[in-house]
């Protein structure tokens, strides 16, 4: 189970409180009725599905209920940062990125963190 930082509540909470909400920074075309079938398929179905750094939306559904964005490594599942919805795509600080690559094999879990606290 992942440990996720909600940028609105400013707290690290367990994944059980959150709902994954797909790739971030996808804008619905303004002229949705006018675009071609290819463009619609691209907007509606095609996603990056990156191996490595990904930008995605999460919703703190059993908390504040709000959507926010996250940068996560899909190999280690480690969250590199979370930030509020509406902000542009945030660059990853170099040291966070280096740390994430070094830790690519380890998975940070809620159970581990709770274990440390005890």
Partner 1 sequence: MRRYSVFAIAREAMRAHKGWDQQWTSPEPRSSYDVIIVGAGGHGLGAAYYLAKEHGITNIAVIEKGWLGGGNTGRNTTIIRSNYLYEESMDIYEHSLKLWEGLSQDLNYNTMYSPRGVMMLSHNIHDQQSFKRHINANRLYGIDNEWLSPEQAKDFVPVLDISKTARYPINGAALQRRGGTARHDAVAWGYARAAADRGVHIIQNCEVTGIRRGPAGEVQGVETSKGFIGAKKIGVSAAGHSSVVMEMAGVRVPLHSNPLQALVSEPLKPIFPCVVMSNTVHAYISQSDKGELVIGAGTDQYNSYSQTGGLQIITHTLDAICELFPIFRRVKMMRQWGGITDNTPDRSPIQGVTPVPGLFVNCGWGTGGFKATPGSANLFAHLIARGEPHRLAAGLNLDRFRTGRLIDEAAAAAVAH
Considering the complex, state which of residue 19 and residue 89 has its C-beta at the smaller distance from partner 1.
19
Considering the complex, state which of residue 11 and residue 44 has its C-beta at the smaller distance from partner 1.
44
Count of residues touching partner 1 (by CB under 8 A) = 29
- Our finding on whether 72 is near partner 1 (CB under 8 A) is yes
- Our finding on whether 101 is near partner 1 (CB under 8 A) is no
H helices within 5-49, ranges in order?
A: 37-44
Q: How far is the CB of 88 from partner 1 (least distance, A)?
A: 21
Among 2, 6, 24, 100, binds partner 1 (CB under 8 A): 2
As a whole number of angstroms, the distance between CA 62 and CA 15 comes to 10
Nearest to 13 by CA among 115, 81, 113: 113
As a whole number of angstroms, the distance between CA 58 and CA 60 comes to 7
Q: By three-state DSSP, how is residue 91 classified?
A: coil
Q: Enumerate residues 6+ apart whose C-beta is below 8 A from 61.
A: 17, 18, 19
Residues near partner 1 (CB under 8 A) are 1-2, 15-16, 19-20, 37-38, 40-42, 44-51, 54, 56, 72, 74-77, 107, 109, 111
């Amino acid at each position: 189970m992942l440990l996720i930082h909600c940028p609105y509540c400013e707290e690290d909470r367990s994944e059980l409180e959150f709902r994954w909400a797909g790739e971030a920074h996808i804008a619905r075309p303004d002229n949705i009725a006018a675009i071609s079938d290819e463009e619609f398929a691209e907007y509606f179905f095609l996603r990056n599905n990156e191996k490595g750094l990904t930008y995605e939306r999460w919703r703190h559904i059993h908390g504040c209920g709000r959507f926010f964005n996250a940068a996560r490594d899909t190999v280690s599942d480690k969250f590199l940062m979370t930030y509020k919805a509406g902000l542009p795509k945030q660059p990853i600080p170099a040291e966070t990125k280096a740390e994430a690559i070094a830790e690519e094999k380890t998975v940070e879990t809620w159970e581990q963190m709770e274990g440390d606290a005890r």
